[in-house]
């Protein structure tokens, strides 16, 4: 089947990358058909449980559909393709449209699709058996059947100011979850955050069922992380107050690493020059990360990426604007 992921447009490349990494993490072999800022299309074997798990994990996807067809974004073309692609199941129906085209009216498109698909069917706009979804861009139209809707409001409910322990610099939960997904960590595998801070990355990893390990050089961070993790009813975690260079004494190996390197006044480096700290951090990451596994590292400058390349192989880099004047770079490294 062909799955269509309706993407958030919050970032240019991160939503697509998150989907592809999560498909691998969930053992869903998939072939990328096409992608743009609106949708990603991938072909995979039918897997209801897998789609459910994707919906539980993804941060920058709104809806997962089974693709019926794609065609040029012209009303007559869409109707012509719809007539050739009947719905594969019986039941009541609703037709929704997400229209980003300047030359097609949503109401007219829904009416004409209704002429094709609602014959001998009950229309139920509240709780239909089948929800047909049309995604229309300037150039391409996509039609699919909704398989899973993603309620991303729970990420907002875990914003830093709603946790028991807070620092001024805290990753948004959606970014933290995307980092976890980019690491391709699987359920019940182990993920390490060696600069865990307030525990935001650990929280997102723990909520998808991974075993989580965090460390920080400050005891107050460890205490705060524990409060935050327990506040969200997580139990399967270990926390260590230790220097980055001593982590291997406590953690011999892990399946994945996701971490945000310290970079500003609000973080503590015990007076150590940042370049030296980053070198030691990447060396430690290369020591504890299993071969052919991934580390996702947040850095404040693309120049820092080269430090990591002394120890690991760069897979991709995703820039994300944090503030008007600040861009964070999330780099995916592989231990080869």
Same structural domain, 111 and 168? no
CA distance 233 to 231: 5
Rounded average pLDDT over 39-54: 97
Which of the listed residues 86, 118, 149 is the one where a domain comes to its end?
149
pLDDT of residue 268: 55
Tell me which DSSP letter residue 151 carries.
Answer: -
**C-alpha dihedral over 190, 195, 197, 199, to 10 degrees?**
-10
- Please say whether the beta carbons of 28 and 44 come within 8 A: yes
Same structural domain, 215 and 112? no
Task: Tell how strand 2-7 and strand 211-216 pair up.
Answer: unpaired
Q: How many domains does the chain have?
A: 2
Same structural domain, 86 and 141? yes
Give the domain CATH number at 181: 3.40.50.150
Same structural domain, 82 and 170? no
Rounded average pLDDT over 44-48: 95
Instruction: Give the structural domain span for 269.
Output: 153-334
Q: Is the pLDDT of residue 167 over 90?
A: no
Same structural domain, 143 and 158? no
pLDDT of residue 14: 97
CA distance 22 to 39: 15
Same structural domain, 162 and 305? yes
CA distance 242 to 172: 25
Same structural domain, 119 and 167? no
CA distance 288 to 253: 4
Same structural domain, 140 and 158? no
The pTM of this model reads 0.95
pLDDT of residue 79: 97
pLDDT of residue 322: 76
Same structural domain, 213 and 325? yes
Residue 283 backbone phi and psi in degrees, to 5: -65, -45
Same structural domain, 165 and 25? no
Give the domain CATH number at 51: 3.30.2130.30
- 267: confidence class by pLDDT, cuts 50, 70, 90: low
Average pLDDT, the chain: 95
Same structural domain, 245 and 314? yes
- 48: confidence class by pLDDT, cuts 50, 70, 90: very high
Which of the listed residues 149, 176, 205 is the one where a domain comes to its end?
149
Same structural domain, 109 and 221? no
- For residue 188, is it left (φ>0), alpha (ψ between -120 and 50) or beta? left
Rounded average pLDDT over 159-184: 93
Which of the listed residues 124, 149, 174 is the one where a domain comes to its end?
149
- 312: confidence class by pLDDT, cuts 50, 70, 90: very high
């Amino acid at each position: 089947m062909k799955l269509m992921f309706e993407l958030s447009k919050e970032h240019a490349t991160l939503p697509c990358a998150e989907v592809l990494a999560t498909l691998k993490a969930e053992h869903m072999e998939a072939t990328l058909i096409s992608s743009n800022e609106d949708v990603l299309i991938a072909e995979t074997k039918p897997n209801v449980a897998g789609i459910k798990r994707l919906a539980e994990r993804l941060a920058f996807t709104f809806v997962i559909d089974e693709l019926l067809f794609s065609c040029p974004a012209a009303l007559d073309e869409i109707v012509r393709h719809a007539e050739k692609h009947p719905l594969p199941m019986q039941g009541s129906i609703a037709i929704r449209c997400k229209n980003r085209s300047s030359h097609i009216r949503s109401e007219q498109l829904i009416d004409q699709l209704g002429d094709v698909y609602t014959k001998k069917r009950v229309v139920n706009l509240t709780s239909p058996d089948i929800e047909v979804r049309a995604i229309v861009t300037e150039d391409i139209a996509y039609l699919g059947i909704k398989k899973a809707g993603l309620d991303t409001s729970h990420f907002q409910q875990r914003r830093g100011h709603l946790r028991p322990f807070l620092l001024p610099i805290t990753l948004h939960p959606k970014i933290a979850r995307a980092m976890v997904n980019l690491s391709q960590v699987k359920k019940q595998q182990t993920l390490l955050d060696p600069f865990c801070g307030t525990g935001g990355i650990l929280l997102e990893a723990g909520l998808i069922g991974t075993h989580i390990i965090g460390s920080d050089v400050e005891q107050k961070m460890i205490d705060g992380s524990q409060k935050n993790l327990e506040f969200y009813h997580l139990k399967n975690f270990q926390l260590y107050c230790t220097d980055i260079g001593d982590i291997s004494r406590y953690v011999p190996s892990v399946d994945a690493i996701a971490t945000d390197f310290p970079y500003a006044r609000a973080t503590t480096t015990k007076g150590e020059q940042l370049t030296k700290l980053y070198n030691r951090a990447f060396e430690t990451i290369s020591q504890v990360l299993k071969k052919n596994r991934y580390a996702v590292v947040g850095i404040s400058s693309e120049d820092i990426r080269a430090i990591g390349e002394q120890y690991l192989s760069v897979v991709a880099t995703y820039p994300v604007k944090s503030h008007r004047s600040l861009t964070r770079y999330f780099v995916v490294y592989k231990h080869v």
